[in-house]
A and B are shown apart, each in its own frame.
Chain A
Amino acid sequence: MNPIFFLPELVLGIGLLAIVLVGTLLSARRAFNLVTGMSLIVFLVAFLAVIGQLTAGIEYEDTFFKVDTLSLFAKAIAMAACVVATLFLPKYFENNPDKQFEIPILMIFVAIGLCVMASANHMLMVFLGLELQSLPIYVLVTLERKRLESSEAGLKYFVLGAVSSGFVVYGASLIYGATGVLGFAEIARVLENGSANNLMVVGVVMLICGIAFKISAAPFHMWTPDVYEGAPTPVTAFMASAPKFVVVVMLLRILNDPLATMLPEWQQVISLLALVSLAVGTLGAMQQDSVKRFIAYSSIGHVGFVLIGVAAGQGGIASVLLYSTIYLVTTFAMFAVILMLKDPKSKSDYVTKLAELIGLAKKDQTIAIIILGIMFSMAGVPPLAGFFAKLSIFQAALQADLLWLVIVGVVFSVISAFYYLRIIRRMYFADEPTSGSIDETLLARAIVSRSTTLILIAAIGFFAIATFAVWGAVLFEQANWASHAF
């Protein structure tokens, strides 16, 4: 067995052991910065390892593990996302009493779980990967032990997460009951020889439900707003990015590789999930006044779009990868901006209410214009990246004859434009004081505390979104390349 196939996993594992050692030897205060720096390097090396595998054109398959274009693409994006998420840590934990050196270490655990999921070729690996990434995230969510919301969020996430893992295992065991095998290749072989029986269908539906929970697709989204709000902001940014992306990729692989012959069955389930997610996300976001709850609901809506692409089957893979990648970049830019907006009343707290954005354009033009770009992109207005994401999703869905789903998607994207515009209105139009409904003291209360790293991340994100029309062909090409894995 050649170690080159497992290079990123090995890098992460060895790095993890070394960092734990360093962390325990130093005092907690000093350890944090050092450990963060080291894990940054580990993520970077892991990212380079994936890129190395990519350029070497490595392919590998055994019963449990598979390295193909799709998994390499997912790993590359996930590792890059981990690098960015690590960069968020220092600013937030500057003066935070809960500055534990275990934070970056837990993130490396998650990263290993992500690699396992991306390469899973067996139901057991699916479960192993899911648990490996979920358990550290439960801990990360509860980091700020003394904040009630944080503990509450952690507990909620843990309980519901455990139930969803149960769904996954139960679904996998039913599939085992129906086919007698757990490996993806074997399942595919069994399904090709005979049609799926009811047991199999139930198993698949349960599996999808368990996974839907992890990507917060409605109606399995209940935890999302609370957990997003309760978790420390960098953790929210982290869990909203890499894990979701990889779980989507895993879902793509399960549905299109072993279960490809069951397309008519799972397409209905996925379409329904997409429809409900779009409705819940869009209508839910409309009522929100908390920044993080708003992002949570908007992410549910975006998952709805992603699921439209998933429902399109084989032809939709590239569009899903494209959409998820663009959404990931947008989310990072958004969180980088949020981490720079401070609420002066409480020292450690970052801006929590959308109303605090009122008049931001007067205070800091750069930040306001970055948010403007993000909002128009999320609304899907060309020529920004979000438009191309939606375009490719709709195109894939129409190719798969899912016209009704496209119409639903289009309707909700118009409705969602309404509340993305509302944020722009608050920042730029400065008309709300007259409405009287908002506490006057909130007006432009957010103060901007810039940090070089964060402004750089936000600016790069903004630039990437704004000039997508120019460089986007590269991403289209890559996503298309990755989609031809099976």
Chain B
Amino acid sequence: MDWPILSLLIGFPLVGGLLLMVLPSNEDRLIKISTLWISSVNLLLGAWMWWRFDTSNPGLQFVERMPWIPNTPIEYSVGVDGISLFFILLACVLTPICVLASWNSIKEKWKSFGVAFLLLEASMIGTFSVQDSILFYLFFEAVLIPMFMIIGIWGGKNRVYAAYKFFLYTLIGSVLMLIAIIVMWQVAGTTDIQKLQNFEFDENLQIWLWLGFFASFAVKTPMWPVHTWLPDAHVQAPTAGSVILAGVLLKMGGYGFIRFSLPMLPEASEFFTPLIYALSAIAVVYGSFCALAQDDFKKLVAYSSVAHMGFVTIGLFGGNTEAVTGAVYQMISHGVVSAALFLCVGAIYDRRHTRQINEIDSLGKVMPRYARYLVFFSLASIGLPGTSGFIGEFLVLIGVWKSSPLFAILIASGMVLGAVYMLYLVQRVVFKTANNAELANRRPITDLSLREIAYFVPLIWVTLWMGIFPSTFSKPVEQSIASEQIIAKQITAEQITAPEQITAPEQITAPEQITAPPAPSLQLTTTE
């Protein structure tokens, strides 16, 4: 029999976190090492899953099903496909990195911190692997508890405000999603995500359901204008909190769009596509300008996240394989790159105790190794070819160009602005050098320690790998997107509005199949 690998991935940090609770709270070192071990073993489990993952199979793998709540269709079911695979891996990779990053910077209550982080990891992996909508909501929301505590206990001066804002914003969105999920359960008689994807909801109902999901995912992504919790949460959260927030939590919104809104509510998604386009374009441009205006290093990175997530949302609703694949790629890439940028912010904050850009300079001289990493990740964030950022944004641009050149130009301006604010940042922080006399007066700071290098280097490798051999990542994603009929249905609808494209009648019947012959290749041939 196969190992229940996904349950292990969820259960291991969960049980580990609970066991951590019984350790004596003054044994800091023991607690740190056990947290690191637990999360590293989970990373190995994740790697093992990836190794066992059959990239030629677009459907769900490692499926486990168990009856759960009696007299309801709700069951415990998990499974992973090409889309969720990399999000799970992202959570597995970033958790040990966060533990390492917090090694010295979290000074009190390390035990609670370790417990919170492991529970957070369990619920993140849970969110990406469950195949039941109620269970999805459960994990999606469970993330709030540890994150609220992480921001609230270990955050900066204004942490309580930020923690509240984060919690309440997300909660308001999520409860509307809960109503939508329950209504779907009433109408379709099932909570299984696969079955819901094959259920045809009435078009009027779809609009309302879509809005319910949108409330939750838009806050989580975050989309303009409900992004305002993000800069607060990022600035106040401890480094590890920001890393996880940017690296994984934001992706839950985009993941939700792919799993719920697009395949389950295709007509409504089609109907709201202009809205998404408009909001995303605003997010890209507005987020970039905000980032440009920031004096605070961390806030700058936070606003750049808003802009990058704008690419993601516009790509998800782009209506063709390139755009959606690009959006997912961009999410994974952003998960790595922005996490690394927040780690950079954290590293400098640990040394200088400030995040004000004008108080930090001469890093190229004082911390040459750090400067190299910062420049590298800045370039990746801009989307330099050869780094992961390029592939995602480029695919999104191609995809969006096909449906609307105007919006493609608008978001392309975001790429230019991205270069502006990131390079301007690098210029001020790294290359602007104070004179020697002044430098001599400052308290000397050390360059990156071995512990810090240990978590920067793997991230650099991943970024390059994603940039140079994108097919490792894009192939499973593309296949699963195809089988999920995210685009199949949309294009069908599109073709109805654009009659000159109707060539193959199969497309209208295509939505009926799940795993079978990829409708996408058909799509591609017709659109190209």
Contacts and interface: CB of A to CB of B under 8 A. Distances in A.
Interface of A: 318, 365, 369, 376, 381-383, 387-388, 391, 394-395, 398-399, 403, 406-407, 410, 413-414, 417-418, 421, 424-425, 428-429, 431, 469, 472-473, 476-477, 480
29 contacts: A365-B112, A381-B142, A381-B144, A382-B137, A383-B138, A388-B69, A391-B182, A394-B178, A394-B182, A395-B185, A398-B182, A398-B186, A407-B179, A410-B178, A410-B179, A414-B172, A414-B175, A417-B168, A421-B148, A421-B164, A424-B152, A428-B149, A428-B152, A429-B152, A473-B67, A473-B68, A473-B69, A476-B70, A476-B71
B472 interface: no
B259 interface: no
Contacts of A383: 138-139, 142
B167 A413 contact: no
B142 A480 contact: no
Given A399-B186, A414-B168, A421-B167, A381 B145 contact: yes
Identify whether the interface residues of B are mostly helix, strand, loop, or mixed. Answer: helix
Given A381-B144, A417-B167, A429-B152, A410 B138 contact: no
Contacts of B159: 429, 431
Contacts of A469: 138
Given A381-B145, A382-B138, A473-B69, A425 B152 contact: yes
Q: Which 9 A-B pairs have the closest CB atoms?
A: A382-B138, A410-B175, A429-B152, A382-B141, A477-B70, A480-B71, A383-B142, A431-B160, A383-B138
Contacts of B167: 417, 421
A395 B133 CA distance: 14
Nearest to A477: B70
B311 to A, nearest CB: 30
A418 B168 contact: yes
Interface in B123-179: 134, 137-139, 141-142, 144-145, 148-149, 152-153, 159-160, 163-164, 167-168, 171-172, 175-176, 178-179
A413 B179 CA distance: 13
Interface of B: 21, 25, 67-72, 112, 134, 137-139, 141-142, 144-145, 148-149, 152-153, 159-160, 163-164, 167-168, 171-172, 175-176, 178-179, 182-183, 185-186
A387 B152 contact: no
Contacts of B160: 425, 429, 431
B179 A394 contact: yes
A473 B137 CA distance: 18
Contacts of A425: 152, 160, 163-164
A382 B153 CA distance: 21
B129 to A, nearest CB: 15
Given A387-B138, A480-B70, A406 B185 contact: no
B153 A428 contact: yes
Contacts of B72: 395, 476
A174 to B, nearest CB: 37
A403 B182 CA distance: 11
A313 to B, nearest CB: 15
A395 B186 CA distance: 8
Nearest to A362: B109
Nearest to A407: B179
Contacts of A381: 141-142, 144-145, 171
* Residue among B134, B171, B183, B186 having the largest count of chain A Cβ atoms under 10 Å: B171
A220 B522 CA distance: 66
A472 B70 CA distance: 10
Contacts of B148: 421, 424
A407 B178 CA distance: 11
Given A376-B145, A395-B182, A418-B168, A429 B137 contact: no
Contact of A365 (B25, B71, B141, B145): B25
Contacts of A418: 164, 168
A414 to B, nearest CB: 5
Nearest to B140: A382
A414 B138 CA distance: 16
Given A414-B168, A472-B69, A406 B179 contact: yes
B109 to A, nearest CB: 8
A359 to B, nearest CB: 12
Nearest to B111: A365
Given A391-B134, A425-B152, 18 more contacts: A381-B142, A382-B141, A383-B139, A383-B142, A391-B178, A395-B72, A395-B185, A410-B176, A414-B168, A421-B167, A424-B149, A425-B160, A425-B163, A428-B149, A473-B68, A476-B70, A476-B72, A480-B70
A413 B175 contact: yes
A388 B141 CA distance: 13
Nearest to B161: A431
A176 B168 CA distance: 50
Contacts of B171: 381, 414, 417
B141 A387 contact: yes
Contacts of A395: 72, 182, 185-186
Contacts of A414: 168, 171-172, 175
Nearest to A388: B69
Contacts of B179: 394, 398, 403, 406-407, 410
A414 B137 CA distance: 16
Contact of A476 (B69, B141, B153, B182): B69
